[in-house]
């Protein structure tokens, strides 16, 4: 059985997978006990939040290309 999808449909699926992954990470963070970040971790978190606020990010497709 062969299934054919358009590039647009594939992009929609990949975008939805990104959203699912983010939701899983949010749920995981809610369920795990909180720890205070170290100084270096706090700096990295702040830098990551700044990148997110600026709209920076990596698509799943780019990540898959990078990681093979």
What is the per-residue pLDDT across 8-38, written as a single tens digit (0 to 9) for each?
A: 999 999 999 999 999 999 998 888 877 888 9
Model pTM score: 0.43
How far is residue 66's CA from residue 9's CA, in Å, rounded to a whole number? 22
* Residue 23 within a domain: yes
What is the Cα–Cα distance from 15 to 58, expressed in whole angstroms? 11
Tell me what percent of the residues of the chain surpass a pLDDT of 90: 50
36 domain-assigned: yes
Q: Is 2 inside any structural domain?
A: no
**Residue 16 belongs to a domain:** yes
Domain range enclosing 41: 7-67
């Amino acid at each position: 059985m062969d299934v054919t999808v358009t590039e647009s449909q594939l992009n929609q699926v990949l975008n939805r997978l990104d959203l699912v992954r983010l939701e899983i990470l949010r749920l995981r963070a809610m369920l795990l006990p909180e720890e205070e970040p170290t100084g270096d971790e706090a700096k990295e978190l702040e830098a990551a939040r700044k990148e997110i606020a600026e709209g920076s990010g990596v698509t799943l497709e780019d990540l898959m290309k990078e990681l093979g």
